[in-house]
Structure 1
Amino acid sequence: MSAVIPILLYHSVRPVPAEGFERFTIDPGLFAEHLDTVTGLGFTACTVGALAAMLRAGTPPPRRTVVITFDDGYADFAEYAWPRLRARGLTATMYAVAGHLGGRSAWMDGQAGAMRMLPAADLRALSGEGLEIGAHSVSHPQLDCLPLACAREEIRDSRAILEDALSCEVTTFAYPHGFHDRNVRRAAIDAGYTSAAAVRNALSHTGDDVYRLARITMAPDDGPGRIAALLRGRGARIAAPHERMQTTVWRGTRRIRSRLRAVHA
């Protein structure tokens, strides 16, 4: 029987969210409460890479294991998130958008598109302190709406850029927005990654696919009670072995919109 492994997904941790990015921003005090719930319930954190290695080997993770992930690579991580993780002896995995290191979150509009991103030097320093760095594409597109050749470039080149910048191996990938299909999944495998994280807003487990690991997005109104429930395997569905029909329908809608934008561009 599969054991539940909660994989939590964070984006920005800062006191004042950028306009337009409120639902992906967690107050530092609330983030500290999340972490205190993790440690208070006796959980330890491992990286995605470590989890994937255990799953591939058929080795169950230790009981009370949680995985903490951050997408995009916002500069506020170094100031507000990492010190709180380190103070509690917790590690995490950061998925960085390789084409925007040290720049801005320009794939978004308005103030959300002006958020500062961690430069390569800071990522190198964080990696040296125990943070796992993974790839999150070059430019943060909807990979399953791109021509496959372009999606392959985004996946492959992001790894090369990060490995060159960090002087270390990058083995794990996260699909931007969580969007992927079987061809994008195959591209991640062909690029040499040992795992790929989706979103799915479901609880991962020991039978989960290491190339579409389920994660749960943390929201600014998720209190310690929500974290405690997830750690206990409650409050969210268990990730299904196959794609849900709603996901397939939504992908079709996004592809139509993408083609229309290309026609009117």
Structure 2
Amino acid sequence: MSRYPSPIVLMYHGTPKETPISRYSLQARLFKKHIQYFKKNGWHTALFRDLLDIKSLPEKTVILTFDDGYLDNYLGAYLPLLENQMKATWFIATKHISNSANWLPFRSPQNDLLSHVQILDMHRNQMEIGSHTCSHRELPSLHLNAQIDELIHSKKLLETLTNSSVTSLAYPFGRYNTDSLIAAREAGYNLACTTQPGWLHLEPNPLLIRRITIFSGDDDKILARKLSFADNDVSWPKVMRYYSDRVLDRLGLVKSE
């Protein structure tokens, strides 16, 4: 059996040159180490929409996704990926293109977002552009029709910009409810992702794809553990508990509470 039972989806945010001010952003120099790790260890990158044909993907496939579309992604992630013939998917909140991520509790140049021109350039170079709604509001705070409007309008704007179909969605803040799933189907999305960690095959609903969160301090060693365990928490105490539990299980012993 493969050590990697299914493609793994990673969630990135900003990739600033300087030290990140958000725990969800990864300094550009560390992201380059991630790229080097993928290359050295035989990982294949694919687009989020490629999960529709999952059987065609190589054994060690990683899906890189970037939420919000930060301006620093252009130099810190997109160009390095392009240089290394790798792919990624960007989820864009369309109302905020060329502006700032005003949903964040702090102001900083690191909150600046990609422009229409940059997004189009990325699309033309085989990166996937997906929806992150229009306003980046928490979808469960909206009634069904308002959720449908958010998803349809974002989809149409991105399709007009890229002149191609947009069928991938990421829920803002990873939050959704039953209406969100109805709205996603009504708006014509085939795939959507949450922020719930875990192996892809553990969630059969294509509108609830799992992702592993990348945090600001995640170097290539932490990345390796996240790819191995498909979890956000890969601290050494948790990893050691995992291995000790496996040993006890193989010995037929019950771990005491």
Per the TM superposition, whether the score is higher than 0.5 is yes
Alignment of 1:222-261 (within 5 A): 222-233=218-229, 235=231
Residue 54 in structure 1 maps to residue 53 in structure 2: yes
Query: Residues 232, 192 of structure 1: CA spacing in aligned structure 2 closer, same or farther, 3 A cutoff?
Result: same
> 1:15 corresponds to which residue?
17
Give 3-state SS (helix, strand or coil) of 1:23's partner.
coil
Alignment of 1:177-256 (within 5 A): 177-205=173-201, 208-233=204-229, 235=231
State the shift of 1:95 in Å.
0.3
Structure 2 unaligned regions, length at least 5: 234-257
CA distance in 1, matches of 2:99, 2:155: 18
State the shift of 1:82 in Å.
0.9
TM value normalised by structure 2: 0.83
CA distance in 1, matches of 2:222, 2:204: 22
Q: Which amino acid aligns with 2:10?
A: L
CA distance in 2, matches of 1:85, 1:227: 17
Alignment of 1:143-182 (within 5 A): 143-182=139-178
Structure 2 counterpart of 1:71, from 57, 67, 70: 67
> 2:80 corresponds to which residue?
84
User: Between the two proteins, what is the percent identity of the paired residues?
Assistant: 26
Query: Residues 209, 61 of structure 1: CA spacing in aligned structure 2 closer, same or farther, 3 A cutoff?
Result: farther
Give 3-state SS (helix, strand or coil) of 1:213's partner.
coil
Note the alpha carbon deviations across 1:228-265, whole angstroms, 9 max, x for none: 1232345559xxxxxxxxxxxxxxxxxxxxxxxxxxxx
Query: Residues 80, 235 of structure 1: CA spacing in aligned structure 2 closer, same or farther, 3 A cutoff?
Result: same
Residue 128 in structure 1 maps to residue 124 in structure 2: yes
> 2:236 corresponds to which residue?
none
> 1:263 corresponds to which residue?
none
Q: Which amino acid aligns with 2:41?
A: L
8 Å Cα contact 1:28-1:81 kept in structure 2: yes
Give the CA RMSD over aligned residues. Answer: 2.1
TM value normalised by structure 1: 0.81
8 Å Cα contact 2:138-2:175 kept in structure 1: yes
Instruction: Point out the structure with max Rg over C-alpha.
Output: 2
Query: Residues 162, 235 of structure 1: CA spacing in aligned structure 2 closer, same or farther, 3 A cutoff?
Result: closer
Q: Which amino acid aligns with 1:76?
A: D
8 Å Cα contact 1:98-1:139 kept in structure 2: yes
Number of residue pairs aligned between Structure 1 and Structure 2: 231
Note the alpha carbon deviations across 1:26-58, whole angstroms, 9 max, x for none: 11111111111112110101001011x114xxx
CA distance in 2, matches of 1:95, 1:158: 10
Further displaced range: 116-125 or 161-170: 161-170
Structure 1 unaligned regions, length at least 5: 238-265
